[in-house]
Structure 1
Amino acid sequence: MPETLSSTVRMPEAGLSPQTFWSRVRSRVFRPWMVKFCAGYIVLVCLIAIFVPFLATGTPYTCIIPAHHGMPLRRQYPLFRDLTTVSWVLLVVAAALAAQAGMVFLTRRLPPDLRRHRRRVWLAMMTAATVIATVLIVTLHHNQLDATDYRTMAAQGQITHAIFAPIPWGYASMEPLSKNLINKLPSQRHWLGTDGEGRDVLSRLLWSTRVAMGIGFISQFIALALGVLVGAMTGYFSGIVDILLMRLVEIVESVPTFFLILTFVAIYGRHIFYIMVILGVTGWTGYARLLRAEFLHLRQLDYVTAAEAAGLPLWRVLFRHILPNGITPVLVAAGFGLA
């Protein structure tokens, strides 16, 4: 009997801590190569959305203005001066996420309790620093519209040693129409050609990732929050709670999202924030149905009964014990919703 147990149960090696629940979930979820590819693609698009001001812009990273009219030679950094508030906030968030990922990597071999404590403390510090930095940026930073044509200045010698981005065109940059660059095919100067107004297509494609990911993340966050809350309540409780909430789901599903967006645009004007909120407020019903089905099954299992018998609070039973085991189909659907 001991030999059978030793052959089936793998004990952790010396110096290595046993896997936690979430580490086992990650190892199973990311095992297929297609999942790894999709996750890598999403990360790549997010990185492009964050660092697109450094990839596609007509403003140089740095340049030198020659001495003239008694003014000394001086170096300037136009790109960093002209970054918008959104760009600075995204850079701060990216730095905080990178710091948190570094802490996770550095503490991976520590004992579970110490590892969990350090990660939580570091996460709290990074969250506080990110919030403070975001508030300061939004309060103190003012966007500047710089219409200077640095490429022409560099060609005429008005600036020297200018370092431009790999794609030296902004999302609205266009060359003079006299050059007849409207609807041009791909070339060495414009890798994907130009549109009907002479703007570089590749630059606009890269800049559009910021809009697409912004709409996707914010709308899906709202939809997930509402869907998880309603789905957990309808799946765990029965009777009048389930009936009322499911009728609410059916009412929301009957609302035409497209016409609702048109109505808000007609009344309040065009703003991307309205699209994010409306997509989130009307897109949570599918998540609620999926989670309700999972909760209806999981609430009958023994570990849920044991948690209830132990006198655990309702929120802990719902979101600590049942939700982690039933969230998988919701996350899959959220991935498609983000796309």
Structure 2
Amino acid sequence: MKYPNNRLRRNRRTPAIREMVQENRLHPSDFIAPIFIMEGENQKEEISSMPGYYRYSLDTLGSELEELIEVGIKSVLLFVKVPDSKKDNKGKEALNEMGLMQRSVRFMKENYPDLWVMTDVAMDPYSSYGHDGIVEGDEIVNDPSVKVLAKMAVSHAKAGADMVAPSDMMDGRIGAMRTALDEAGYENTGIMAYSAKYASSFYGPFRDALDSAPGFGDKKTYQMNPANVDEALREVELDIEEGADIVMVKPGMPYLDVVRAVKQNFNIPVSVYNVSGEYAMIKAAAEKGWLNEEEVMMESLLAFKRAGADLIATYFAKQAAKLIKDQ
């Protein structure tokens, strides 16, 4: 039998040659670390559906941020758990200059100025209905919600946020935010748009973390249909036209084809959100002994890079960055 001249296994023979020809690599600066913040003092609460992940009060947050910096993480994405007593249907607390998000941003920029601080801009943590916009009857109304979201973005920028990250999926909100930020003198504040955010079933643990599950119905009238890809490209194109600096696909692993399509069609940094359900599944399977947690974690993160993601928001950020640093 005549063997081929081209034997691809030659480039797999040893660790040295495998590393030499490796096409994609992970670096700690690829990762965005989500941070959950709660009211109170001396609080650090594990999120039951996200083993190993915590909510922090501001006075306990410092050690976590120092660990992130130590392993090379450059950016964080802030989320706040708002007490029920401060929730309403208008997002009033979201605009409070002494609100938890605004205080958190100031704390971080005063104490860790080199961290790139991104803020979640959405109404669901503040909504008595758990929706991403103002509710009128049984409808989540678009334009009145956009007005509040634009004010939220300016409030976060005023507190010192480097970049706002609108996750609401209201139409036109990127343009409204860009205009509002520029008119308020924050033309250097960036926007990372959740451009292709799907109405996914993978968000459950996150909603536990912030107590932000919708009080009625679902989010299918404003988040995307998981069946669609062309629509994602339309969403991304509109957000770029309206002033987005980075676009995001969310969730991650089930939507690698969308990440690839976005990267191939647009010359803009692309981020992906490795969401809470993806994290929880790996953690649960590893706890059962069914998977090797570290190997599956790194393989999953590498898949995002291979698909075309420039940035990865992931609850594995610190764990993965430490592994990379220790190699």
TM-score range (shorter-chain normalised) is under 0.3
* Structure that is richer in strand per residue: 2
Q: Larger C-alpha radius of gyration, 1 or 2?
A: 1
TM normalised by structure 1 equals 0.21
- Provide TM-score, normalisation by structure 2: 0.22
